[in-house]
Amino acid sequence: MKKETDKRRSFLKHILAGSAVVVGTAAAIKPAKAKSGPAGLESDDVLYKESAEFSKYYKSLRS
């Protein structure tokens, strides 16, 4: 009877330790957050300006 009780307790201790590890790992992992862009740029700012060089380059890609 003593061995059976020890097996149960050992099993419960392992389950408890395993769940503590899982909870600790989940708490340690931080969700990834997007970094903001360079200062002074807003979402409405246009970053692309068409120029003669760009037009020439795009035309060379099509041929």
Delimit the domains of the chain by residue range.
1-28
Predicted local distance difference test score (pLDDT) of residue 52? 92
pLDDT in tens, 4-62: 677 778 888 888 888 888 887 777 776 667 666 565 556 666 677 888 998 898 889 88
User: CA torsion angle for 9, 11, 12, 14 (degrees, to 10)?
Assistant: 120
If 0-12 CB within 10 Å is exposed, 13-18 middle and 19+ buried, where does residue 37 land? exposed
Contact residues for 40 (Cβ-Cβ < 8 A; gap 6+): none
Residue type, 6: D
